[in-house]
Amino acid sequence: NDFIADLVKQVKPSATIAVSMKAAELKAAGQDVIGLGAGEPDFDTPEHIKQAAIEAINQGKTKYTAVDGTPELKQAIINKLQRDNQVDYQASEILVSNGAKHSIFNLLNAVINPGDEVIIPAPYWVSYPDMTLLAGGRSVIVQTDAEQAFKMTADQLSNAITDKTKLIILNSPSNPTGQVYSRDELTAIAEVLKAHPQVLMLTDDIYEHIYWGVEPMTNPVALFPELKDRIILINGVSKGYAMTGWRIGFAAANRDIITAMRKLQSQSTSNPCSISQAAAVAAFNGPQDCLQTMTRAFKQRHDFVVQALNEIDGITCLSGVGAFYAFANVTALIDSHKDCSNDVELATWLLESAGVAVVPGTPFGAPGYVRISFATSMTVLEKAMARIKQAVEKLR
Ligand code: PLP
């Protein structure tokens, strides 16, 4: 269609959303489909958070707020960053947006000039390359594999940097791999960053609280205060507090970058929903035990799913330490399957013959893999794993 802008024509719709829609379609048509494609917790938003939103409505907090967020929410975020991450920010260094995705979109558009390079380690969250494209930048993909637990090494980063590099994106815990950068790995990456003063780094911390590793989680900003001006910390309430529909995320960064991002937001969406902002205040300031309860459940499901996958002929899966995804290598299964020649076909086959929806690895930059979300009950997961196993056994 000639009416559509060239740039937008190049953008792919989100593959994860596409799988959820296909599964929903089959379900609506009466088929018994188990959806393991979703990127959101199955838990309900905790009660005290919902109550705060109801109170906000009753108190008439239903008008425009400051573009960058209410003073209450910005203070709650500053307190959260001190409490959970041991980092100090001023109110002028915080911007609240419509989800972490919007924060990332704002950042890319605020700093990327045409042709600037953005270093994205693969497997990556599906949206990074397309958002980079929309901002006029060029994605430089750094491939990682299971042997390195899907984490970019400092050497790989160093080799990928050119005089056009503007930004590095780190996402830890990672969607789709569930892996987390250790303190030592972050230190090595920071050394590379120190040698390239023209390069910024985004740390996408959206899965921060969904973590069960042994080593305490380290935030790059806390570890390297001298790099604070060049690190943009992005986080939100979506995953940890089971608040995906409320659309609240935030960025913490140096004042100039935040000012530029706020300007973009002021000319596009204005403030995020006033009621959701009041709910987010309750999330950050209220009792935090809900985080532990949910994370404990995610770990139990992770352990079950990873073990069940590894027991299926042709599938191998590395254990993760966070987020709610198992990222399984299905290359052996594809090789032995007469009707499938890649992960996209395999995912379609799983949907049609096992009634289980998973997301193929290709849109995450990892052909030969599938992403299985375990943000659903153990009962459903047990049924799904049994169905996959049975469908694979029938092939033999
Ligand atoms: N970053 C990563 C790695 C994600 O997986 C997601 C959601 O899927 C987001 C950011 C976006 O989060 P939000 O729902 O707050 O926009």
> How far, in Å, is the centroid of ligand 1 from the Cα of 77?
18
- Cβ of residue 249 lying under 6 Å from some atom of ligand 1: yes
pLDDT of residue 105 exceeding 80: yes
The alpha carbon of 339 and the centre of ligand 1 are apart by a number of angstroms equal to 34
Q: What pLDDT, on the 0 to 100 scale, is given for residue 15?
A: 67
Question: Is residue 209 lining ligand 1, measured as CB closer than 6 Å?
Answer: no
Average pLDDT over residues 225-236: 97
Q: Is the peptide bond before 287 cis (omega within 30 degrees of 0)?
A: no
- Which class for 376: exposed (0-12), middle (13-18), buried (19 or more C-beta within 10 A)? middle
Model pLDDT for residues 118-167, shown as the tens digit of each residue: 999 999 999 999 999 999 999 999 999 999 999 999 999 999 999 999 99
Q: Give the C-alpha separation, 57 to 50, whole Å.
A: 11
| pLDDT at residue 325 tops 90 | yes
Mean pLDDT of the chain: 96
Give 276 Cα–ligand 1 centroid separation in angstroms.
17
Looking at domain 6-44+290-395, does it have CATH number 3.90.1150.10? Answer: yes
Mutate to test the pocket of ligand 1, among 206, 250, 269 (most ligand atoms within 8 A of CB): 206
Task: Give ranges for CATH 3.90.1150.10 in the chain.
Answer: 6-44+290-395
Instruction: Reply yes or no on whether the pLDDT at 55 is more than 70.
Output: yes
Residue 104: pLDDT band with limits 50, 70, 90: very high
> Is the Cβ atom of 46 under 6 angstroms away from ligand 1?
no
DSSP conformation letters of 221-272: HHH-GGGGGGEEEEEESTTTTT-GGG--EEEE--HHHHHHHHHHHHTTT-S-
Instruction: Enter the pTM of the model.
Output: 0.96
Residue 14 pLDDT > 80: no
What the block records as the tokens of 275 is 């009621």
Q: Where in the chain is the domain with CATH 3.40.640.10?
A: 47-285
Pocket test for ligand 1, best of 239, 243, 277 (most atoms within 8 A of CB): 239
Q: How many CB atoms lie within 10 A of CB 169?
A: 26
Q: Domain 47-285 carries which CATH code?
A: 3.40.640.10
